[in-house]
Amino acid sequence: MGKRKKLAIYPGTFDPITFGHLDILARASAIFDEVIVAISRQGAKSTLFSLDERVDLARKVISQKTFDCPVRLEVFSGLLVRFAKERGAATLVRGLRAISDFEYEFQMALMNRHQKGEVETVFLMPDERYVYLSSSMVREVARLNGNLSAFLPRPVIAALKKKYRHPKRLVS
């Protein structure tokens, strides 16, 4: 009998994708045989970037990186655990930055377990450089024309400049 392939789903809105997301993805790729980056079609929050823009940015930055396993990008809607089950994934990967993330992520993991008990959630911590980093914080700093070069890949910075019509500064 062959070894069962370990497939994980790394879900999110990725609005926009950051070095923190890429760090969690790299960590997941060292653990699993394949990772699907699952971009949510809809979310509880409104997004700055359209679905097509989020997919395009994620595709660009993921293709520029080397991972320990195959990584593919998919869009999903509806229940995440249903999407995971349809893909044959038994694991969801979530990043935990700080204690403030834990309560929400813990509740979500328990609800997912209630929906599909055979799908587990694994929490990974990012590098310390990204512990306080969030997409919403990045959007706010970009809106105010701050320097984001330590937190975002160049294609994302270019997209934010265009969104906020800032000719300079996001990369100082």
Q: Answer whether residue 159 is part of any domain.
A: no
Q: Answer whether residue 76 is part of any domain.
A: yes
- Tally the domains of the chain: 1
Q: Rounded to whole angstroms, how far apart are CA atoms 80 and 86?
A: 10
By residue range, what is the domain housing residue 110? 7-132
- CATH code at 72? 3.40.50.620
Q: Answer whether residue 152 is part of any domain.
A: no
Q: Answer whether residue 54 is part of any domain.
A: yes
- pLDDT digit string (tens) for 55-72? 999 999 999 999 999 999
Judge whether 164 and 143 are in contact, CB under 8 Å.
yes
Peptide bond before residue 70 is cis, with ω within 30 degrees of 0 = no
* Of the listed ranges 45-49, 58-62, 108-112, 145-149, the one predicted with least confidence: 108-112
State mean pLDDT over 5-21: 94
pLDDT score for 114? 79
Q: Answer whether residue 46 is part of any domain.
A: yes
Judge whether 114 and 31 are in contact, CB under 8 Å.
no
Which of 97, 114, 171 is CA-nearest to residue 141?
A: 171
- pLDDT digit string (tens) for 88-143? 999 999 999 877 778 777 777 777 777 766 889 999 999 999 988 889 999 999 99
> Which residues carry out catalysis?
21, 45, 97, 135
Is the pLDDT score of 1 beyond 60?
A: no
Q: Answer whether residue 168 is part of any domain.
A: no
Per-residue tokens: 142: 């970009």
- pLDDT band at 50, cuts 50/70/90? very high
Q: Answer whether residue 47 is part of any domain.
A: yes
pLDDT score for 172? 44
pLDDT score for 165? 80
Q: Answer whether residue 166 is part of any domain.
A: no
